[in-house]
Amino acid sequence: MKYFSIAIDGPAGSGKSTVARILAKRLRFIYLDSGAMYRAIAWRIINEKIDMKDSTVFRNLVQSTQFEIVSDGLLVNGEKIDEALRTPEVSRFASEIAKYPVVREILVKKQQELAKGHHVIMDGRDIGTVVLPDADIKIFLTASIDERAQRRYLELTQKGLKVDLQQLRDEIRERDENDQNRAISPLRQAEDAIRIDTTGRSIDEIVEQILSICCTKMGGDE
C-alpha cells in the first residue's frame, strides 16, 4: 500500500502547526509536530538538570525519550505535557539544543520511524529537506515577522500569560537566526516545496489552498 506524506516547514509562528493539525483531521492522516520533540528534549534537560557536557548522559537522555502519536497529540514517555512545552524558556532552549548533531541524528530517526506505515503530515524546519525528502507534497509556510509575533502574542495572552509584544518579536528574530544559520539541517525551503506566504490570510484560506494541492497530487481522493 502506498502511504502519502505531507511535509510542512517554516519559521516559528508561520502557522504550520495549526494548519497541519486541521489538515490531518480533514485528510485522516496522522500528525507529527516535530518541534514538540525538540521541545520535549529541552524540557527534560531543564527539568532533570542534565549536564550537557557529559556526552553519554546527554545522548542517553535523547535516545531514551519515547514518543507516541495519539489522536489528540503526542505523548512524551507516556505523558501529555503540551503546556509545559510551550513556555518561552522551553522555546528558547529548544532552538539551542536543535543545533546539536546528536539531538538531530536521533530525533530524525525517531521521526522517520513514527511516520512509517501511515499517511502522515509532519511539520518542522527540515521535514522536506531531511526527514521526509521523498514527501509527496512539500509546503513552505512564511509570514512577516510582525504578523508572527502578533500571532504568538494572541496565543499566549489567550492562555492568560503576560507577554510583551516587542520582546516576543525579538525572541522570534533570534530563533529565526538560530534555525536558519545552524550548521546542520538549517531551516530552508526544499527545492520542490511550494511556498505560501500566510501574512494577512486566514487559517481557513491556507488550509483550503493546501487541500486543493493535495487533491490534485493525490488524485482527488480526500
Applying CB under 6 A, the residues found at the interface with ligand DC are: 12, 34-35, 38-39, 94-95, 98, 124-127, 175, 179
Specify the residue, 12 or 23, whose C-beta has the smaller distance to ligand DC: 12
From 76, 5, 77, select the one nearest 35 (Cα to Cα). 76
Look up residue 181 and give its DSSP letter.
H
Closest approach of ligand DC to the CB of residue 222, in Å: 26
Closest approach of ligand DC to the CB of residue 176, in Å: 9
Closest approach of ligand DC to the CB of residue 38, in Å: 3
Calpha distance 132→134 (Å, rounded) = 5
In one letter, which amino acid is 78?
A: G
Burial of 28 per CB tally in 10 Å (0-12, 13-18, 19+): exposed
Specify the residue, 95 or 142, whose C-beta has the smaller distance to ligand DC: 95
What is the distance of C-alpha 138 from the center of its chain?
Answer: 14
Specify the residue, 146 or 222, whose C-beta has the smaller distance to ligand DC: 146
Calpha distance 16→124 (Å, rounded) = 8
Closest approach of ligand DC to the CB of residue 215, in Å: 26
Calpha distance 75→219 (Å, rounded) = 33
Calpha distance 109→67 (Å, rounded) = 12
Closest approach of ligand DC to the CB of residue 221, in Å: 28
Specify the residue, 37 or 207, whose C-beta has the smaller distance to ligand DC: 37
User: Which residue intervals of the chain are DSSP H helices?
Assistant: 16-27, 34-47, 55-64, 88-97, 101-115, 145-158, 165-181, 203-217
Specify the residue, 80 or 216, whose C-beta has the smaller distance to ligand DC: 80
Closest approach of ligand DC to the CB of residue 216, in Å: 26
Specify the residue, 104 or 119, whose C-beta has the smaller distance to ligand DC: 104
Backbone angles phi, psi at 141, to 5 degrees: -95, 140
